[in-house]
Structure 1
Amino acid sequence: MQPSQQEDWQNFVEKLARLGQRRLILVEGEPQWCRDWVMTQLEGLHATRGLWVGQPEDAARGGLPGMAAKQYKRWLGQELDVLVWDGWQGNPPDGLAALAGTLKAGGLLFWLMPTLAQWPEFEDPDYARTGLDGAPEHAFAARQVRLLAQAPEVIRVNAGAAALPELSVPDESEAFQVGATNEQNELVEALVRFGQGRRRRPLVVTADRGRGKSAALGLAAAELLLAGREQVVVTAPAFENVRTLFRHAGSRLGDALAEQDEGRLVTRNGHRLCFWPVERLLEEQPSAEVVMVDEAAAIPAHRLRSLLLGWPRVAFASTVHGYEGTGRGFALRFREVLDRETPQWQEIKLNQPIRWAKGDPLEALVFRLFLLDAGAQPTDQALPAESVTIEPWQPSKASEAELAEAFGLLVNAHYRTTPSDLRQWLDDPAAYSWVARRQGRIVGVLWATLEGGLSEAMAEQVMLGKRRLRGHLLAQSLASHGGFAEAASLEGLRVVRVAVLEQARGQGVGRRLVAAARQGCRDHCLDYLGTSFGGEPGLLRFWREAGLRVVRLGLQQEATTGEFPLQMLEGISPAGNALADGLANRFSEHWQVLMPRHWSALPTNLLIGMAVDLPAQAALSDDDHRDLRSFSDGFRGFELTLPVLQRLSASAGFMAWLAGQEGRELWCRAVLQGWSWTSLRKHGWCAGQKAGEARLRQLVASYLSAG
């Protein structure tokens, strides 16, 4: 690099740092030219902390640590001077959005890509992962081109340019200084009070990235050790997420620090701050007065609940605009757990950035590119259902305002909605969407995708587990796990998301959107309408009321929510009706055998809600009735009667009757889920075997008398 260019870069970075700003440098050209150009510029930047996302050999040539884009979560919570993103290797939106937030004031993001004009036709290597490699057009990329071309703060470098583009920054006003904000200081004080306070009053910290929550956790952890807490435990998806936390804790401990290893600080009086991976922490359950959970939005909800209940004082820190796709959902779904388990929990929000200045151009640009700040705006107006109209809608043709409005509904309503979802929604040629409008405003949205239609030979291979295709989530699952090849050969519409503005809920808007999708199936001569979601009682109730029925429950919990995938179907054509009947009948034959082996902890209201619509599989014989009467009268024991009690559970109408009985939890746990009397007593379902059997006898007696 020429000395003058090196000075230009140094002056530019210094000015940005003084302003508290960061910049995107879009490097447009052939891949090798882009890489060579960036490597030349890196020589003059003298960045102490950088990262190259792309090929490891390119990272090595550039003198930076390297990684693949899919590993981005390892770097959350860290601070970088330079980020090189080799878009020629693929552009997963979640990773790019996340890592942009690791750059501190004065930081530069080099994005290596074809020229902007080529983006809509550029076959991004990441498309194959989500089945978008066959899409005829890429509206998501075209939208990014439009936004980037309109952004004056983006520095564009084109192949063949004779010199560097102008590296200009606005006139300096008040110099930016990296330091604690009043909000951060108040958070540290609140964390210390929490860590010294009463049990079972968890603290939830939410903020956008770059607001200093990890630093605050580290400072507070150090203060707690100095104040007498013997062990503070920190957990996160990976240690890299909390490196900043430990750095600030170590700095605050100063001379009081006696030992320091990666993930472990020990004071002179033996008090410890330790990092534990989530799984190991839950498995070994070490003693700790305080547990701090950083990057909580990236941890599955069921594990967050276990952390909440496992220690006396637990603090959770989460990024609101969660680039993992769970930040907003964390605030929504985990709030229900907190309200139920620890109603005296507290929340603190950080708004003011600390790693860069308010109004930083790069943050604003990333938010626009990926709609990270999209959120349904509440309204004080009543939204009567009769004023709402339903219509087909194409997100790729929508205005920027409408797209943000509709995507905001999905973000607010669902636990996992990511920037990658936005790309999928815009680019998937098999996507169908409907919106609900009131006076021009979007108050509801349904996103669905066409699935199935495979050849009979291919469908048979999928059913046998010999082939697995990208996409076709519901069709392939019902074929391979349900055992019906026609699930993959018939064509259907799977609802991916449905969301309604909070003020418009409870008025049938969601059901009307589903009805529009059903009519869309008829209009396109499709065979079925279906959906797959993390099993949750409220969602099950919605889909049952919308006309779909349960046909499968997955054996493995979803990694993001900890819930079992529940799949529901409604036949549209005669073949679709036959498929739905066959799947429901088969599942009805099997669920009681699978229940104690795989779903022993399934919530009672979900179990009953799932079972009430299944076809009856057992007609009680005279012998069964005799044994039930003998059990209810106290002459026959529980273990001897258990097979008959299970047959009763599969008989017509029984589970619907049980849903209204006070002893339904005990019945489900003891009869269907295989809990021991010791476990039932421990969890408070009965005082012991004698009392539990007596309650079950009463239930049987009530049912027999009602019949």
Structure 2
Amino acid sequence: MNPETLPPLLDTTAWCSLQSNLAATGQRRLVLVEGARELSRQWLKALLPALELMKGGLWIGDADDAPDNRLVSIKANQARQWLGQETSVIVWDGWRGNPPDAFAALSGTLKAGGLLFWLMPSLEKWGSFADPDYSRTGLEHDQLHPFAERMARILALDPSVIRVQSGALGAVGLPVLTESVSEFRVTTTSDQQALIHKLVAFGLGRRRRPMVVTADRGRGKSAALGMAAAQLLLQGRRQVLVTAPARDHVNALFAHALESLGTDVIRAEDNRIVTVTGAQIRFLPVRDLLKDRPEAEVVLVDEAAAIPVSLLKQVLLGWPRVAFASTVHGYEGAGRGFAIRFRRILDEKTPQWQAHTLSKPVRWAEGDPLEALISELFLLGADHDSAVGLSDAVAGKVVIEPWQPALASEAELTSAFGLLVDAHYRTTPADLRQWLDDPAARSWRALVNGKTVGVLWGAVEGGLSKELAEQVASGKRRIRGHLLPQSLANHSGFPEAASLRGLRIVRVAVSAQARRLGIGNRLVAAAAERAKQEGLDFTGTSFGGSADLFAFWASCGLEFVRIGLQQEATSGEYPLQMMSAHSDEASALVQQLRARLARHWLTLVPLNWKDLEPKLLAELAAELPPCYRPDAADIQDMKSFGDGHRGFRLMVPVLRELSMTSGFMKWLGAHESAAIWCRAVLQGWSWSDLQSEGLCSGQRGGEDQLRAVIRELMQKGPKL
């Protein structure tokens, strides 16, 4: 028979011995099963019954194709549900798709001794493999896939990878492990013990000394939080609140708290543990926590990086003792972006905050080959090489050049991707794949002395046929990709937005020490110039709105054309969209978009953006084209209001329209009463809410502030 039609020879005893030895040394391994899919399944059917399958193990693929009925069959998009759990075997059917985020996430559920079987074509075919997951992201298969080729190179060179090939005549070569002095066991590490001690001291100590705990995955931070929460109850605290993006994220926390409390527990529910003294640990989703605001001496926030910074700030200021824990490197890609953004708030609001890092792994031994391999494959630990001395003089020598990350060296790619991770709220392994493999991608980098200090990633979008653009605008069709053109066509009501072709800037990042030197502006200018040369109609962007980012994009010459109705799940901010036109058609579209948004602004703001930050709201309103001009009756009303002879409620229509007159919001933006104007006039807040926000002492005090604004406007404001 043809050996290529036979599964490889199998020595189940050797595999069982390998699994035992891996467990004893605290290691895990990737087993790459290459070649014909059906042969690979047959081989696994013969092997798996001999292996330990803790809690059944996992099969990621079609349920009917599972090679062992003990495997729990899940879809790749269910990976998050398994975070915090453990298994000894994962079998991943790569022939059915390989979403990078899910693969990286599930690898972290393998305990010491775990084996991750990956069914795939032979490594030399990965570059042209039609991965079914690509269709989900809008990527095509009519060209080579640099992301997959890069992974294949890494796997081929890694001696820890166990390669099983269909058609092999001999038995699979298994690694010989060096025996350790003592058998690996999962115990509380010295790192964890130090953290527990510090958390207990924090929880019993002075107010306004928040803690931020960071760690790579598998370091036991959630377990430490649970043990510390238990100790706090045993030492007299009555209420410890726990929050996280989802209840599943705190499974380990609750399990370790329950175990630590032991016989002191009188009642254990899904979201609550109550001790015999009536003290309790209680879980609340973050939005419920902020809505109900229950009293508590301590609040613990797990996986904080997956919660919008705006919500974390409210938690920080809402309770006396708050600890935040987050994964720094991981499939979420959010940890470092979170740390950078949130640190600014901590420094400003609670400058005596404390930091603690866990470095020693708990679920596996230090130096575990699988952890290092997954990190390398997906650049989970990508760090930017910041060893560049910069000054204003050096900044003048910055070189801006087009760049292809797929052709870069590993060091260059790692440094550039590290920049994206640092600069943005969430940059994931899936982003890396999109960046490398999308044929519509365009990239630039900024160099100083040959080292990267800035990167820009853009994508060509639009160009839809007139018929398809009409369907998109009417909501009948939604196609993958083309975020900016589709959004403008559908939400703003202009089908031509989807027919025009433009460059959407997906990400732009500049190293911390090179900021404020105009490098970001120069990157955007280079991208826009290239877009013109390509004959594209516009350069645009869509981003989570904040005052500083809006100011940056405005400084790059982009104009505000749309704000989304829903806050982004990752940043908690409303998406802002801005454009710079390069063609007459795009110029006409931008004018139409802005004029229509300006006309609708006063109706949309109180309905959709009541919680938008006043500073950003004022800047957005100031940037829109004016669409009102007060008449003589309006001016007389304003004089009467300023003198205290006309009530606020009757003045609301006039004051709102005043906000859309030429020059008013720009003048108001620098005024000390800008915030109360935005909240009371534009967003329609009640006087009690304004008082709670600290903007006024009550209705009379608030009205007095607004009357003062009008008097000052009439005396020395812009001409009406």
Displacement of 1:611 after TM fit? 1.6
Equivalent residue number for residue 4 of structure 2: none
SS at the partner of 2:623? coil
The reply on whether 1:322 has 2:330 as its aligned counterpart is yes
Q: Distance in 1 between matches of 2:235 and 2:378?
A: 43
Q: Which amino acid aligns with 1:406?
A: A
Displacement of 1:519 after TM fit? 0.5
Q: Distance in 2 between matches of 1:236 and 1:693?
A: 40
Contact 1:522 1:572 survives alignment (8 Å): yes
Equivalent residue number for residue 390 of structure 1: 400
Q: Distance in 1 between matches of 2:227 and 2:270?
A: 17
Q: What RMSD, in angstroms, separates the aligned Cα atoms of the two structures? A: 2.1
Structure 2 unaligned runs (5+)?
1-6
SS at the partner of 1:541? helix
Show the 5 A alignment for 1:365-384.
365-379=373-387, 381-383=389-391, 384=394
2:150 to 137, 143, 165: 143
The reply on whether 1:235 has 2:227 as its aligned counterpart is no
Deviates more, 1:157-166 or 1:74-83: 157-166
The reply on whether 1:295 has 2:303 as its aligned counterpart is yes
Displacement of 1:401 after TM fit? 1.0
SS at the partner of 2:536? coil
Displacement of 1:153 after TM fit? 0.7
Q: Distance in 2 between matches of 1:215 and 1:474?
A: 42
Displacement of 1:134 after TM fit? 4.5
Equivalent residue number for residue 345 of structure 1: 353
Displacement of 1:53 after TM fit? 2.0
Contact 1:135 1:427 survives alignment (8 Å): no
Sort the Cα spacing of 1:162 and 1:291 in 2 relative to 1 into closer, same or farther, 3 A. farther
Displacement of 1:237 after TM fit? 3.4
Show the 5 A alignment for 1:455-466.
455-466=465-476
2:656 to 646, 663, 668: 646
Displacement of 1:251 after TM fit? 2.7
Equivalent residue number for residue 13 of structure 2: 7
Sort the Cα spacing of 1:602 and 1:223 in 2 relative to 1 into closer, same or farther, 3 A. same
Q: Distance in 2 between matches of 1:654 and 1:134?
A: 53
1:166 to 173, 188, 193: 173
Contact 1:42 1:62 survives alignment (8 Å): no
Q: Distance in 2 between matches of 1:529 and 1:215?
A: 47
Q: Deviations over 1:165-198 (max 9, x none)?
A: 1221342344344322221110010111122223
Sort the Cα spacing of 1:310 and 1:90 in 2 relative to 1 into closer, same or farther, 3 A. farther
Equivalent residue number for residue 92 of structure 2: 85
Q: Distance in 2 between matches of 1:577 and 1:696?
A: 38
Number of residues paired by the alignment?
A: 707
Q: Distance in 2 between matches of 1:494 and 1:667?
A: 34
Q: Which amino acid aligns with 1:514?
A: V
Sort the Cα spacing of 1:8 and 1:276 in 2 relative to 1 into closer, same or farther, 3 A. farther
Q: Deviations over 1:195-216 (max 9, x none)?
A: 2223333221110011111221
Equivalent residue number for residue 516 of structure 1: 526
Q: Distance in 1 between matches of 2:697 and 2:29?
A: 65
1:52 to 42, 51, 59: 59
Contact 2:53 2:70 survives alignment (8 Å): no
Q: Distance in 1 between matches of 2:333 and 2:136?
A: 17
1:445 to 451, 455, 458: 455
Contact 1:534 1:565 survives alignment (8 Å): yes
Contact 2:8 2:43 survives alignment (8 Å): no
2:512 to 502, 512, 515: 502
Q: Which amino acid aligns with 1:26?
A: L
Sort the Cα spacing of 1:173 and 1:500 in 2 relative to 1 into closer, same or farther, 3 A. same
The reply on whether 1:631 has 2:638 as its aligned counterpart is no
Q: Deviations over 1:230-280 (max 9, x none)?
A: 333333334433333233223322333444454544434343334444455
SS at the partner of 1:132? coil
Contact 1:297 1:322 survives alignment (8 Å): no
Contact 1:60 1:66 survives alignment (8 Å): no
Q: Distance in 1 between matches of 2:280 and 2:607?
A: 40
The reply on whether 1:493 has 2:503 as its aligned counterpart is yes
Contact 1:462 1:468 survives alignment (8 Å): yes
Contact 2:9 2:169 survives alignment (8 Å): no
Contact 2:95 2:131 survives alignment (8 Å): yes
Equivalent residue number for residue 570 of structure 2: 560
Sort the Cα spacing of 1:166 and 1:260 in 2 relative to 1 into closer, same or farther, 3 A. farther
Contact 1:75 1:241 survives alignment (8 Å): no
Equivalent residue number for residue 689 of structure 2: 679
1:472 to 469, 472, 482: 482
Sort the Cα spacing of 1:279 and 1:643 in 2 relative to 1 into closer, same or farther, 3 A. closer
Q: Distance in 2 between matches of 1:669 and 1:322?
A: 39
Deviates more, 1:66-75 or 1:245-254: 245-254
The reply on whether 1:71 has 2:81 as its aligned counterpart is no
Q: Which amino acid aligns with 1:197?
A: G
TM-score normalised by L of structure 2: 0.94
Sort the Cα spacing of 1:283 and 1:614 in 2 relative to 1 into closer, same or farther, 3 A. closer
Displacement of 1:542 after TM fit? 0.3
Show the 5 A alignment for 1:596-675.
596-675=606-685
SS at the partner of 1:62? coil
Displacement of 1:81 after TM fit? 1.6
Structure 1 unaligned runs (5+)?
none
Equivalent residue number for residue 534 of structure 1: 544
The reply on whether 1:689 has 2:699 as its aligned counterpart is yes
Contact 2:89 2:115 survives alignment (8 Å): yes
SS at the partner of 2:50? coil
The reply on whether 1:246 has 2:254 as its aligned counterpart is yes
Q: Deviations over 1:347-383 (max 9, x none)?
A: 2111122222222111111111001111223236124
Contact 1:200 1:312 survives alignment (8 Å): yes
Displacement of 1:632 after TM fit? 1.7
SS at the partner of 1:133? coil
Equivalent residue number for residue 594 of structure 1: 604
Displacement of 1:296 after TM fit? 2.2
Q: Distance in 1 between matches of 2:9 and 2:494?
A: 69
Displacement of 1:639 after TM fit? 1.8
Q: Distance in 2 between matches of 1:576 and 1:311?
A: 50
Equivalent residue number for residue 38 of structure 1: 44
TM-score normalised by L of structure 1: 0.96
Sort the Cα spacing of 1:615 and 1:399 in 2 relative to 1 into closer, same or farther, 3 A. same
What is the aligned-residue identity percentage? 56
Q: Which amino acid aligns with 1:94?
A: D
Deviates more, 1:241-250 or 1:7-16: 241-250
2:164 to 157, 169, 186: 157
Q: Which amino acid aligns with 1:401?
A: A
Displacement of 1:338 after TM fit? 3.0
Q: Distance in 2 between matches of 1:236 and 1:462?
A: 36
Q: Distance in 1 between matches of 2:205 and 2:548?
A: 35
Equivalent residue number for residue 100 of structure 1: 107
Q: Deviations over 1:563-606 (max 9, x none)?
A: 00000011111111111111111111111111111111111111
Deviates more, 1:468-477 or 1:381-390: 381-390
Q: Which amino acid aligns with 1:223?
A: Q
1:333 to 335, 338, 341: 341
Sort the Cα spacing of 1:493 and 1:214 in 2 relative to 1 into closer, same or farther, 3 A. same
Sort the Cα spacing of 1:235 and 1:59 in 2 relative to 1 into closer, same or farther, 3 A. farther
SS at the partner of 1:429? coil
Equivalent residue number for residue 464 of structure 2: 454
Contact 1:184 1:212 survives alignment (8 Å): yes
Equivalent residue number for residue 3 of structure 2: none
Q: Distance in 1 between matches of 2:41 and 2:698?
A: 70
Q: Distance in 1 between matches of 2:250 and 2:176?
A: 32
SS at the partner of 2:241? strand
Contact 2:35 2:166 survives alignment (8 Å): yes
Deviates more, 1:581-590 or 1:51-60: 51-60
Q: Distance in 2 between matches of 1:57 and 1:340?
A: 55
Equivalent residue number for residue 190 of structure 2: 182
Q: Distance in 1 between matches of 2:444 and 2:218?
A: 36
Q: Which amino acid aligns with 1:296?
A: A
Q: Which amino acid aligns with 2:520?
A: G
Sort the Cα spacing of 1:181 and 1:561 in 2 relative to 1 into closer, same or farther, 3 A. same
Q: Distance in 1 between matches of 2:275 and 2:670?
A: 57
1:130 to 126, 131, 137: 137
